[in-house]
Structure 1
Amino acid sequence: MSPPPSASLVCAPDSDRALTHAGKFDLPGSNASWVRRDAITERVDRAAAAKLVLVRAPAGFGKTTALRQIHEQLQARGVATAWITLDAADNDVSRFLSCLAEAIARLQIGEESQTGRDVDALALLERDGAPFALFLDEFEVLKSSAVLALLREIVSRLPRSGQLVIGSRNLPDLDLGRLRVRGQLMEIDAQVLRFSVEETREFLQARRLPALPHDVLETLHARTEGWVAALLLASMALERHDEPSDFVQRLTGGGGAIAEYLAEDVLGRQPADVREFLLRTSILRQLSPSLCQALQPRVDCARMLARLHASSLFLLPIETDATEPHYRFHSLFATFLRAQLVREHSDEVLRLHLAASAWYESVDRLVPAIDHAIEGGDFPYALTLLSRTAQGFLKEGRMRLLARWFAAIPRGTLHAHPLMQAIAIWAVLFTQGPTEAQVLLADSGLALSEDAVISAHVNAQRPLLLAMQDRYSEANELGREGLARLPTAVPFADTALTNCMAHVTAVLGQTHEAQRLLDSARSSRCGSVFNRMYTESTEGMLDFERGLFRQAMARFRIAVGCTRDSSYRYTGGNAWAGVLYASAMYEADDLPLVERLLNVYAPLACDVGLPDHMIECHAIRSRLLFGRGDVDGASRVLTELETLGHLRKLPRVVASARLERACMLMRQGNAFGARAELDRSDDPAVWDRVARQRLPAHELLDIGIGRLRWEVQFGDAGAAALRIAAELPAALAASRIRRAHKLRVLWAVALWRKNSPQAAADAMGEVLLQGSREGFARLILDEGAAVAGPIHAVLRNLRKNPGPQDPILLEYVQRLHTALGGDALASESDQAATTGTPWQGESMTGKEMRVLNLLAEGYSNGAMAEKLFVAESTVRTHLRSINMKLAAQNRTQAVSIARRHGLIR
């Protein structure tokens, strides 16, 4: 995998966290004018089996109110509940996961959910026990593909007792179609949320307005179309109109026009001091007396906020641990106020943002201080603030935060700050990838700088850029020149370069040099958790290659935990180490954990464009989907990988996608298709370089192993065994122990096919002995039914051994044997290499043959039902009939018998 890690995802610092998360877990403040939406809560009651309740409508339709009433209804039924009000910052996976962990702890669905316990919070949601519901309001702010993928995983794994309740303006990307088909989705849309005429009457009564004549009430309802926000604004206006019927008659236009008209009408009728206060504080996302005082020094802001809150017209309270109250505007009204502020006082917008920025700076909250400086357009001031914190954020790995800020600052302004340019290049490198960073470095002119600090950054960045572009030989040459200049004035850059060169030299086969560089990086005093992650990840990759699987897994776990707060779970780490950890856990066969890790980290790794990461992520995701019977999904993932390779001009990625597709076709028993795909993947320029280098994605996935696998399974097993025997010593001599294990597995299968069962058992036994000690599994299990015979033979020998038993080895072999189908599959694999007599039993119907072929290709019952346009129960009926006719005990055995008798390929 490419040497540099992608963005480290780190939560807000402790000093900011209380206010950052203020009110996120609390229900919105109650409002006396709420109308009971019994029809909505009854719908939810009737949809107890739904995994997801989606309340979706444009702004101002009362989604939050509906969510709160659903919340109260569930609590009354004894359902445990937790609430999160989302905001844009939750697109940071680390922050979102920390918020999710806090919400899950509040659910109290397990003893492990207590604060401070090192527990996978997501796993707690999967437990089937007491009923619970997790509420996510303002879901539309989530744009991150990683966060959305994580939520799709959460929904798919919720137990029957769990429910996710979402409020959103938009249609969320959560596989709603699949949930809808399965009856696991309850949708409450704008049409349901609209007030009826009677609810409109109740609403106005709750607002203590005089009763309207029925015809006027109906007109008001028709003009507002039951839109709650419009009715709220109308009620404000009606309080000040002596002739309600005239006002209602003047309401025209669609929802948006009505909202603007009413907002202007209501705002225009406020006292001048209230009106000006509202406009000038509209730039704030949260309002507190002291912050507002910085913007409005001549106003008694504490009194004004209390006055507005008491009126229940504009402000929503936020619960915080702060000593003074905090509020926020309704988002619809805030949007209008900001637009109005620009129209009326455009010359004050900059001053207001700068005042807010200065206040945040005074209380040492530099993140919102920088945000306001940028929003106010004072980029030099923003860079001044950044200069105080950017290097610290760089060392912490907060690359996405830095990248967001630098993207908002004009390049011309940035040119006056060379150090900020250098840090911007780091941020872009680890969030957008080397191509964009290369352009930024070239445009900056920093390579010509004589400043020692700037030169130190460039000295490390140039080899990194080349290595991330899969140009390891060039990176090695330039990196060695850079190492000769160490130490420089920037310890962070020196350590990053040392780590980079450790990986580059490892890829080039210079293992001792790589180890020396890692030792040097580890002894660095730069104090960067980012570089510590980098060091542990790279050494873990070396351990993985050398067969020290448990040691590698420990290093990867340390790497993903390299954050400033040890209370964060492993999923709060960084994408580069996260993908490596996912790969290790896949090898350990912890598939549920692997899916969660990839849902978080795979999109981030692909954003950066690291070739080995992209290959590893997509290959594993494809195998997981295939294992679940989603063959079409598995194929789609590989097509995505191939397309990414073409788009980014990475031939190695394209060839790897095709090679993995060939492996999938082999698992389906499609010899012809697999051979054709192997030929398509055989790009000499790619595989010649892979043979010379030691790239992590290709320890077990290269054209040589691909062709050996095909020969072992479909071709001349004897010739394949001889080739493996000749190749194995070279792998062992180079300490590529993991690759040697894979070769031995294929060797055992080849020997089994050529009717040498004892030799096959001996070859497999050596791999299994190491596997029981180190804990790897998938490099064996991924070969599927082909390894069942040798494993069965090893297990039989162990059971017959009269001497002392190794209980760990016995349990390990039994576990693999069971995972592959046990004795029934093993007995079939004894005859898998030969074709028996034509089928003499009861003939298959046409539908049964279609089911049998789909079964052989790896499809699940549900996927077969979709392809055949029948119910899943019909598929099960066909499968029972097939098993009876073939005298098979399970699906795998049915496929094996059918192939042996020539019923399927």
Structure 2
Amino acid sequence: MVPVVATRLRPPVRAGVAVPREVLPAALGHLRSRRLLLVRAPAGYGKSLLMAQLHDALRASGRKSIAWVSVADIGSSFPEVAMHSAAALAQTVPGLDSGVKALFEAHINASPETISAMLCNELERTAGDLYLFVDDLHVLAGSPAERLFECLLRDAPGQMHFAIASRMEPGFSVARLRARGDLGEIDARALRFSRNEARLFFENGHSTLPSAELIDLACTTTEGWAAGLQLLSLSVGNEGDWAERLHSLSGSNRAVGAFLAEDVFSAQKEEVQRFLIESSILRQFNAGLCDEVGKRSDSRLIIDQLQRQGLFIFSLDEDEHWFRYHHLFSQFLQKRLSETDAPLMSALHHRAAQWFRSNSMLDDAMFHAFASRDFRYAASLLDDACNDLFYQGQLLSLMTWVKQIPERIINEYPKIQLVRAWNLTLEWRFEEAGSVLSSVFKRIRAMVDGGTLTPEAASRLLHVYQHRRMMLALFTDDMRTVERMCLDLLADLPDDDPYLRGSVELCIIYSQREFYRLDSLHRIEEAARSYFERAHSQFVLVWHESIIGPSLIQRGELDAAANGYRSAIGIADRIGGHHSPLGAMPAMMLAELKMDRGDYSEAKALWDEYLPVCEELGLLDHLIAAYVGRARLAALYRDYETAAAMLSRATQFAEAKSFDRLFWHATAEKIRQAAQRNDVNAAVRIANEAKLPRDAGSLYPGDQTTTRTEAMAVAWIRLALVRGFAKEAEALARRWHAFAVQRSCIRTKIRMAVLMAASRLASEDHRGATRALMQTLVDAVPRGVVLPFIEEGDAVKQTVATIFGISANIESAAEFSEVLLNAYKTSPERVLVRSGIAPERSSEATVTTDGRLSQREIDILEFVSQGLQNKEIAERLGLAEGSVKWYMQQIYMKLGVRRRLKAFQKAKALGLIR
């Protein structure tokens, strides 16, 4: 009879101090409370180490009925396994080994069932819990010896617990145990070494330790594979050169490769080895993909076999449809492939690219197309997908792929080049964009002449080409060209590309706002949004809200603009991550809006977050908000160093990109800050360097005036004031104010009214200044606009304070803003009652509400519906009669009516009140 070897009946001894595994408490809990603890993972994951620590933990807790069998040292011989198992259990129930030996010596048919029955009957005599550890059960796969443990699991007394370690699932089913909650499972994921465990492991064997960053990298590189960490530790030895060794650690590393070759790969059948080699090129795989790549039909069977064997394969979904290999194992397999059949590797990649393309998985298709070095095929893939990629905001992926394709090949694909030109435009690389567009036009002509492009296809590409030319004009702030090209495109553009059509509508809004034409804003905005909804693009909505916002603010619809900006930031965060260049567009404009409304802390927070990335792409408006807006905030807190740095950056960027509008906004703010410091010479120098026109006549508003001219006019007015030419300043401000009233441009109207008031105060016309401010406060109060009344000097601030009966001696701008905003809420009637005036009637009578009435306005309309007069309503609500009149004026302005009952009826029809 084969003798029993004592060393096979106890846990293996590890040299050095073993790292206490973090999974140990959970595993120990499973073992004590359940029938079976199954520790299943590929080779080298520390299964035996965990089993040994479980064994020792039970011993340390006073448990004595513990048995251990290392079947890898025994082999699959049923008699040997049976004898060793009996000998292990005999330490608890004496005589078990003798009984089993007698059965074998008597030449009785000692089947697994027979041996199990005898053992289980004897084990019934034990009291208390009994634990049997079986290490490396996979060695017994499909043998009678494995059947022995199946029978024991089924028939052993209830107080017996099993801990089994294996590279694969047992050949017998454990589903019943799992269903009863009697199975505890520890897999490769649970056995991966954590950062802390890896640190302790290296501490045990080395005097010189890797840094925390290198330990993180080691865990990432090995995926927490214990054998990988061990091989790394051995390769470092006493040299301590962790960085070099770690960066060279891969599946092609000699030590790693030898381990995988000897312990894993060589144990597989030839057909499985071929499958492993051919599928190793795949970052993720399923049966259908492997069938296509390997030109086979048995992939599902082999994948199931690999899972059962635990062969460094991981499921990526609960349905176990997609899988991947441990990347060191994958690298090892790829090295063998490249050494034995390099041409096959290229062919495999190409087949994979085709499969992924047919299954609409572009990222993987592009990866394998590039890996096959078939750049023309990669270009054809990108040509099919480039528009959708762009429309969904996948700019980084798109341009990364474009850069990998040789220029001579990419030039053959006009559609890709047209998307590339658009992206270059978004990044303000105008010269490159223009160059690409010129080459595209020539390419289209050449393709038509050569017969490789039909006239119909060429016409479609030329429409897109014209669109890109229009976008280039938009981003270079050439609004006259934009408006002309938009009208031409709308007359001829097919309706089957909703993204393209919507962007043209959006550009019309942009150009019309620059020309102070806002009458069609909501109609065109609705049309653009409907096209974008058809296009199912979230990316474009960031641009949409960023372009619509300034137009809404100009109309006085500040809440709607703020809501749009916040929505756009949320979308940008989902697409590009938090603090992305895409999110910087709406964030910068929201910051500027918040600042104008006195919310300085939130505005500063937005600038702090997004200013560092605001120059990577975007709109000219958001650059103005970013740099000029941040400079205004800095000046408000008398941080003139930061303000100067912001304005200097704005000027540099404007000059580099020929952004005249940004340049003049920065210039106007520089002059204002010079005036704030009473530095007349500096203001004059700034104006002269900027070549500000001396004649105000060239800055008068007209039909072709753009906001660039307004910025120049503001600079001229501020310079005139600081030089003492108040009358001239007032004259230009008055012209612009009348122009803004005529065009229903609330933002410009407020700005020019404040400058007009500042001019009158400089001329000692306090009554005229007060009247101008009272009139513009009718627009500012309901919208919460405060900053323009603080920025244009102490005289304006004093006058506004007098109107509301608040102190003007509050030195802190932030504190004064808070007091003024409170006055807006508590005493809005003061802008009407104190001087006995009503707001001037103008073309603003169109509905400008953002869709909401305040609760106080709703209460007043409810009383109006009951036939109460202003005095009676005032008594019911505890207000002055003048306050009720003021509220009615706001209601009229929001609803576009002038009669009390009609106001109630319209609010009811719009659903603003119940």
Q: TM-score, normalised by structure 2?
A: 0.53
Q: Of the candidates 789, 792, 796, which is equivalent to residue 787 of structure 1?
A: 796
Q: Of the candidates 731, 753, 760, which is equivalent to residue 744 of structure 1?
A: 753
Residues 90-138 of structure 1: CA deviation (Å, up to 9, x unaligned): xxxxxxxxxxxxxxxxxxxxxxxxxxxxxxxxxxxxxxxxxxxxxxxxx
User: SS of the residue aligned with 1:606?
Assistant: coil
1:493 matched to 2:503? The reply is: no
1:457 matched to 2:464? The reply is: yes
* Counterpart position of 2:425: 429
> Superposition pairs for residues 760-839 of structure 1, below 5 Å?
760-783=769-792, 785-796=794-805, 813-814=821-822
345 and 601 in structure 1: CA distance in 2 versus 1, 3 angstrom threshold: farther
35 and 636 in structure 1: CA distance in 2 versus 1, 3 angstrom threshold: farther
344 and 816 in structure 1: CA distance in 2 versus 1, 3 angstrom threshold: farther
Q: Of the candidates 342, 346, 350, which is equivalent to residue 350 of structure 1?
A: 346
260 and 524 in structure 1: CA distance in 2 versus 1, 3 angstrom threshold: closer
Q: Distance in 1 between matches of 2:628 and 2:229?
A: 63
Q: Of the candidates 421, 438, 444, which is equivalent to residue 440 of structure 2?
A: 444
* Counterpart position of 1:708: 717
* Counterpart position of 2:255: 265
CA contact (8 A) 2:581 2:614 kept: no
* Counterpart position of 1:607: 616
Residues 806-838 of structure 1: CA deviation (Å, up to 9, x unaligned): xxx9985546899xxxxxxxxxxxxxxxxxxxx
User: SS of the residue aligned with 2:615?
Assistant: helix
Displacement of 1:636 after TM fit? Answer: 2.3
* Counterpart position of 1:878: none
CA contact (8 A) 1:425 1:440 kept: yes
CA contact (8 A) 2:366 2:381 kept: yes
> Quick one: which amino acid aligns to residue 736 of structure 1?
C
1:677 matched to 2:686? The reply is: yes
Displacement of 1:444 after TM fit? Answer: 1.8
Displacement of 1:789 after TM fit? Answer: 0.5
Q: Distance in 1 between matches of 2:371 and 2:695?
A: 47
CA contact (8 A) 1:318 1:327 kept: yes
Displacement of 1:559 after TM fit? Answer: 5.9
1:662 matched to 2:671? The reply is: yes
Q: Of the candidates 409, 413, 427, which is equivalent to residue 409 of structure 2?
A: 413
CA contact (8 A) 2:475 2:619 kept: yes
User: SS of the residue aligned with 1:777?
Assistant: coil
810 and 580 in structure 1: CA distance in 2 versus 1, 3 angstrom threshold: closer
CA contact (8 A) 2:315 2:322 kept: yes
CA contact (8 A) 1:622 1:635 kept: yes
36 and 639 in structure 1: CA distance in 2 versus 1, 3 angstrom threshold: farther
Displacement of 1:773 after TM fit? Answer: 1.6
> Superposition pairs for residues 282-681 of structure 1, below 5 Å?
300-301=302-303, 304=306, 323=320, 346-358=342-354, 360-361=356-357, 364-386=360-382, 389-431=385-427, 433-445=429-441, 448=445, 450=455, 451=457, 452-487=459-494, 490-509=497-516, 511=518, 521=528, 524=531, 527-528=534-535, 529=537, 538-554=547-563, 556=565, 577=586, 579-595=588-604, 597-598=606-607, 606-608=615-617, 610-627=619-636, 630-681=639-690
CA contact (8 A) 1:515 1:539 kept: no
Q: Of the candidates 256, 261, 279, which is equivalent to residue 244 of structure 2?
A: 256
CA contact (8 A) 2:421 2:433 kept: yes
Q: Distance in 2 between matches of 1:587 and 1:526?
A: 32
Displacement of 1:462 after TM fit? Answer: 2.0
578 and 456 in structure 1: CA distance in 2 versus 1, 3 angstrom threshold: farther
Q: Distance in 2 between matches of 1:568 and 1:475?
A: 31
Residues 469-502 of structure 1: CA deviation (Å, up to 9, x unaligned): 2223333444443333244664433333333234
User: SS of the residue aligned with 2:260?
Assistant: coil
What are the ranges of 5 or more consecutive residues in structure 2 without an aligned counterpart?
1-16, 23-194, 267-272, 449-454, 809-816, 827-914
> Quick one: which amino acid aligns to residue 436 of structure 1?
E
Residues 693-714 of structure 1: CA deviation (Å, up to 9, x unaligned): 88886587x2321242344457
Q: Distance in 1 between matches of 2:315 and 2:494?
A: 50
User: SS of the residue aligned with 2:751?
Assistant: helix
> Superposition pairs for residues 208-227 of structure 1, below 5 Å?
221=208
Displacement of 1:368 after TM fit? Answer: 3.3
Q: Distance in 1 between matches of 2:658 and 2:575?
A: 39
User: SS of the residue aligned with 1:271?
Assistant: helix
Residues 299-329 of structure 1: CA deviation (Å, up to 9, x unaligned): 845655776777xxxx9x7986564686675
Displacement of 1:794 after TM fit? Answer: 0.8
Displacement of 1:412 after TM fit? Answer: 3.4
609 and 358 in structure 1: CA distance in 2 versus 1, 3 angstrom threshold: same
CA RMSD between the two structures? 5.5
> Quick one: which amino acid aligns to residue 256 of structure 2?
V
CA contact (8 A) 2:620 2:662 kept: yes
> Quick one: which amino acid aligns to residue 350 of structure 1?
S
Which stretch shows the higher mean deviation, 710-719 or 288-297? 288-297
Displacement of 1:429 after TM fit? Answer: 3.4
Q: Distance in 2 between matches of 1:569 and 1:259?
A: 30
274 and 250 in structure 1: CA distance in 2 versus 1, 3 angstrom threshold: farther
Q: TM-score, normalised by structure 1?
A: 0.54
> Quick one: which amino acid aligns to residue 407 of structure 1?
K
Q: Distance in 2 between matches of 1:336 and 1:626?
A: 62
> Quick one: which amino acid aligns to residue 439 of structure 1?
S
Q: Distance in 2 between matches of 1:352 and 1:596?
A: 51
CA contact (8 A) 1:260 1:336 kept: no
Question: What is the aligned length?
Answer: 598
Q: Distance in 2 between matches of 1:433 and 1:335?
A: 40
403 and 268 in structure 1: CA distance in 2 versus 1, 3 angstrom threshold: same
Q: Distance in 2 between matches of 1:707 and 1:226?
A: 57
Residues 668-688 of structure 1: CA deviation (Å, up to 9, x unaligned): 454433332233233559996
> Quick one: which amino acid aligns to residue 248 of structure 2?
E
> Quick one: which amino acid aligns to residue 773 of structure 1?
P
Displacement of 1:465 after TM fit? Answer: 1.7
CA contact (8 A) 2:389 2:395 kept: yes
CA contact (8 A) 2:573 2:583 kept: no
CA contact (8 A) 1:645 1:654 kept: yes
Displacement of 1:575 after TM fit? Answer: 5.8
> Quick one: which amino acid aligns to residue 270 of structure 1?
L
Q: Distance in 2 between matches of 1:239 and 1:435?
A: 55
260 and 280 in structure 1: CA distance in 2 versus 1, 3 angstrom threshold: farther
Displacement of 1:617 after TM fit? Answer: 1.8
The alignment-based identity, stated in percent, is 19
CA contact (8 A) 1:536 1:559 kept: yes
> Quick one: which amino acid aligns to residue 738 of structure 2?
P
Residues 703-733 of structure 1: CA deviation (Å, up to 9, x unaligned): 3212423444573556644553455323323
Displacement of 1:425 after TM fit? Answer: 3.5
